[in-house]
């Protein structure tokens, strides 16, 4: 089958060299600092970005090997379909996080609320514009997360992540 090829446009740095003990979502990573070293050739693409408080990072979950169609997420004791979770072992290991943009200096982007492993290859940056994604007042249902999501604030990854490498 034809593959789709992308390239790393930079590297995300964070305090998380170890997959165990990582926050599992940005809301559990409040205040955690990181930085993006964008490749210099893409620097001009950062113009106007500093006006945004939050940015969407799309990245390669480079430590994830293989995938499972059903997984037991950190927040649950039952197996769920992989597409109904944010678990890393996906058919295409693509991660997405909304992080806080602190400042930009040259091709270095300083960020906080970082739930991403150190050394992660960055694929894309998009401005976070919640108004674009969903109409205000349009009701949101979040399935099996409904009575779990508040736990994401404090929950850290456990040894299920050893499965991750």
Interface positions, 74-93, toward a second copy (CB under 8 A): 79-86, 90-92
Write the interaction track for a second copy spanning residues 27-66; mark x where CB under 8 A is met and - where it is not: x--x-----------x-xxxxxxxxxxxxx-x-x------
Taking the complex as a whole, the smallest distance from the CB of residue 136 to a second copy amounts, in Å, to 9
The residue from 40, 119, 129, 154 that contacts a second copy (CB under 8 A) is: 129
The rounded distance, in Å, linking the Cα atoms of 29 and 112 is 8
Q: Does 105 bind a second copy (CB under 8 A)?
A: no
The rounded distance, in Å, linking the Cα atoms of 23 and 109 is 21
Element (H, E) at 64: none
63 or 94: CB nearest a second copy: 94
**Could you say which DSSP state residue 23 is in?**
B
Q: Which stretch binds a second copy (CB under 8 A): 14-22, 123-131, 157-165?
A: 123-131
Q: Does 98 bind a second copy (CB under 8 A)?
A: yes
Q: Would you state the structure tokens that stand for residue 117, as one six-digit string?
A: 């492993």
Q: CB-based contacts of 24: which residues, under 8 Å, 6+ apart?
A: 74, 75, 86, 115, 152, 155, 156, 157
């Amino acid at each position: 089958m034809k593959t789709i090829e992308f390239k790393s446009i930079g590297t995300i740095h964070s305090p998380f060299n170890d997959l165990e003990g990582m926050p599992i979502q940005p809301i559990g990573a409040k205040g955690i600092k990181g930085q993006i070293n964008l490749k210099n050739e893409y620097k001009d693409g950062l113009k106007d970005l500093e006006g945004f408080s939050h940015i969407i990072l799309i990245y390669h979950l480079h430590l994830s090997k293989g995938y499972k169609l059903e997984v037991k997420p950190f927040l649950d004791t039952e197996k769920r379909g992989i597409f109904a979770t944010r678990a890393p072992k996906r058919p295409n290991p693509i991660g997405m996080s909304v992080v806080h943009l602190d400042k930009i200096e040259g091709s270095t982007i300083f960020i906080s609320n970082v739930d991403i492993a150190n050394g992660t290859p960055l694929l894309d940056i998009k401005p976070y514009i919640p108004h674009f994604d969903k109409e205000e007042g349009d009701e949101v249902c979040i399935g099996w997360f409904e009575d779990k999501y508040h736990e994401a604030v404090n929950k850290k990854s456990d040894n299920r992540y050893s499965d991750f490498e």
